[in-house]
Copies of this chain bind each other. A is one copy, B any other.
Amino acid sequence: MRDDIDVLVHEVGPRDGLQSIDTLFSTQAKLDWIRAEAAAGVPQIQVGSFVRPDLLPQMADSAEVVKEAITIPGLTVSVLVPNLKGAQNGIAAGAHQLGVVMSVSEAHNRSNINRSVDESIESFGQIVEYRNEVDPDRKVTISGGLATSFGCTISGPVPVADVMRRAEQLLERGADRLSVADTVGFANPKQVRDLFEELFRTVGNDVAVGAHFHDTRGLGLANAFAAVEAGVRELDGCLGGLGGCPYAPGASGNVVTEDMVFMLEAMGLRTGVDLDKLMETREIMVRHLKGEPTHGTYLQAGPPLGFIPATAA
């Protein structure tokens, strides 16, 4: 990670946010958003997903978006890929990082992608092998994502031991980093701290570990704080909390990027992000929406009097 930031904020709105709403963003609209957010200092953005276009029309232009986004200086461009075919397309487009996600919950993985978790782990290994062939210097990094790590809407509680086992398997198969997700908004901050402490004990402190939280039950930022306390240095967020949650109508989806940046900067942790420019980016995004709700408190409240962001200090 760069020396001048303490926590890497990974914006996932152009993927996770857009895939959950009805409005179709044009390629140009996506790029307006991505360019503005990169200019605000957000160091990494998940710009698309290499899935079948008939299944997710919102993501059909991901290759085009990647090709433009990688010309933005300093920006790490990540994409989601569900399988080897997606990985091939993502690498061909020029993505810097591939996110490959599976659920720790067997029931959730079956329901979502009709595979056992073991099969997903095998598929992950094939993606790494393919990357190693076409990119022997491993410039394209591969993130192993563990969904439902804090609970599952189908099977309920998920044992921490299962998360540890899958994390070790991903690393054995060549994951460059891990991403641990509270996919359905079940986590509480004690659980988050305990799980990440256990994870660092299990895989060592040198592994890059990201966290992905949803704000379904209002605990997104509390969980982000707990993750940082446990040593996590990469956090996903979604500008304006775009996307909502299919399990809880009206509820916020991903943690709101701008609120999280405010929290981190107020805590003295440098994100490299300029909050004013981030709020301008939010306006750019909102202009393209057609009635979809956004979330967040910083928008209404603004900074506290005398607030000095860590990045500016």
Which listed residue, B152, B155, B215, B267, touches A188 by the CB 8 Å rule?
A: B267
With A226-B225, A259-B217, A306-B151 in contact, do A301 and B248 touch (Cβ < 8 Å)? yes
**Main SS of the interface on chain A?**
loop
Task: Report if A136 contacts B (CB, 8 A).
Answer: no
Residues of B within 8 A of A305 (CB): 151-156, 186
Q: How far is the CB of A192 from chain B (nearest CB, A)?
A: 10
Contacting B at CB under 8 A, from A108-134, are none
Residues of B within 8 A of A216 (CB): 297, 301
**Can you list, as one digit per residue, whether each of A184-198 has a CB less than 8 Å from chain B (1) or not (0)?**
111011110000000
Task: Report if A53 contacts B (CB, 8 A).
Answer: no
User: What CA separation (Å) do A185 and B262 show in the bound complex?
Assistant: 13
Contacting B at CB under 8 A, from A271-305, are 296-298, 300-302, 304-305
Residues of B within 8 A of A297 (CB): 215-218, 248, 251-252
User: What CA separation (Å) do A245 and B300 show in the bound complex?
Assistant: 11
Task: Report if A36 contacts B (CB, 8 A).
Answer: no
Which residue on chain B has the smallest CB distance to residue A223?
Answer: B222
**Can you list, as one digit per residue, whether each of A149-178 has a CB less than 8 Å from chain B (1) or not (0)?**
001111111000000000000000000000
Which residue on chain B has the smallest CB distance to residue A153?
Answer: B305
Which residue on chain B has the smallest CB distance to residue A154?
Answer: B305
Interchain CB contact under 8 A, B185 and A301? yes
User: What CA separation (Å) do A250 and B298 show in the bound complex?
Assistant: 12
Interchain CB contact under 8 A, A191 and B259? no
Q: How far is the CB of A160 from chain B (nearest CB, A)?
A: 14
Contacting B at CB under 8 A, from A224-271, are 224-226, 245, 247-252, 256, 259, 262-263, 266-268
User: What CA separation (Å) do A247 and B305 show in the bound complex?
Assistant: 12
Task: Report if A31 contacts B (CB, 8 A).
Answer: no
Interchain CB contact under 8 A, B298 and A189? no
Residues of B within 8 A of A180 (CB): none
Q: How far is the CB of A14 from chain B (nearest CB, A)?
A: 22
User: What CA separation (Å) do A152 and B307 show in the bound complex?
Assistant: 11
Which listed residue, B155, B217, B298, touches A217 by the CB 8 Å rule?
A: B298
Task: Report if A219 contacts B (CB, 8 A).
Answer: yes
Which listed residue, B157, B249, B296, touches A218 by the CB 8 Å rule?
A: B296
User: What CA separation (Å) do A196 and B273 show in the bound complex?
Assistant: 29
Interchain CB contact under 8 A, B249 and A300? yes
Q: How far is the CB of A10 from chain B (nearest CB, A)?
A: 19
Q: List 16 A-B contacts (CB under 8 A).
A: A152-B305, A154-B305, A156-B305, A185-B301, A186-B305, A188-B263, A188-B267, A189-B222, A189-B263, A216-B297, A217-B262, A218-B221, A221-B222, A222-B225, A248-B297, A248-B302
